[in-house]
Chain A
Amino acid sequence: DAKTTQPPSMDCAEGRAANLPCNHSTISGNEYVYWYRQIHSQGPQYIIHGLKNNETNEMASLIITEDRKSSTLILPHATLRDTAVYYCIVSFTGTASKLTFGTGTRLQVTL
């Protein structure tokens, strides 16, 4: 698996954009970048995924650098309910299965 590196924690004021970085410098050509989050005591929740183009859905935007060695998840208007651990995952098979979650980034949204 391509390894990912994320900051252990970040803070964000409510209503502001939360930008969560992820480094994946060893990513290979067929590997996708996935983002999931885990709110305290709940199961992980899918957010978004991408290969090389930027992606946007109703939850977030994913910006992938041209060399694909890093990406940023953007929550455009963070709310208190977005407080969670955010996982950046690279799937070594290029598929959605066999996801291995690291330690992630704990995002704390504050008033």
Chain B
Amino acid sequence: DTAVSQTPKYLVTQMGNDKSIKCEQNLGHDTMYWYKQDSKKFLKIMFSYNNKELIINETVPNRFSPKSPDKAHLNLHINSLELGDSAVYFCASSHGDGSEPDDTQYFGPGTRLTVL
């Protein structure tokens, strides 16, 4: 029974298209995150949501828009895809709002996005 799941696992698309990646957690956590891992393997946070409210929004292009229909889901929508968006995107969740040091994050399996 997967705790944090993402769909799709692989996504290949053309430049200029709009695509979405879905994330669901069944841990009952209040906070969800999106991370991007680039080709050099650096993994950096993009967004976090706590109870459907945005609490972290790092400097990412506004073509990226997170959407949280409920606290168990945090989807990532990307408009006008560019070559540089090719990366692995990881979703994560944590019990609290991330403000406590003990708030462990649990990661999903990742979505490999390739923009041609």
A residues sitting closer than 8 Å to B (CB atoms) are 32, 38, 41-46, 49, 51, 85, 87, 91, 94-104
B residues sitting closer than 8 Å to A (CB atoms) are 4, 31, 33, 37, 40-45, 48, 55-56, 58, 90, 92, 94, 96-110
Q: Is the CB of B42 within 8 A of A41?
A: no
How close is B14's CB to chain A, nearest CB, in angstroms?
25
Return chain B residues, CB-CB under 8 Å to A43. 4, 90, 92, 107-110
Measured CA separation A39–B97 after assembly (Å) = 26
Q: Is the CB of B98 within 8 A of A96?
A: yes
How close is A24's CB to chain B, nearest CB, in angstroms?
15
Return chain B residues, CB-CB under 8 Å to A45. 107
Q: Is the CB of B98 within 8 A of A98?
A: yes
Measured CA separation A49–B48 after assembly (Å) = 21
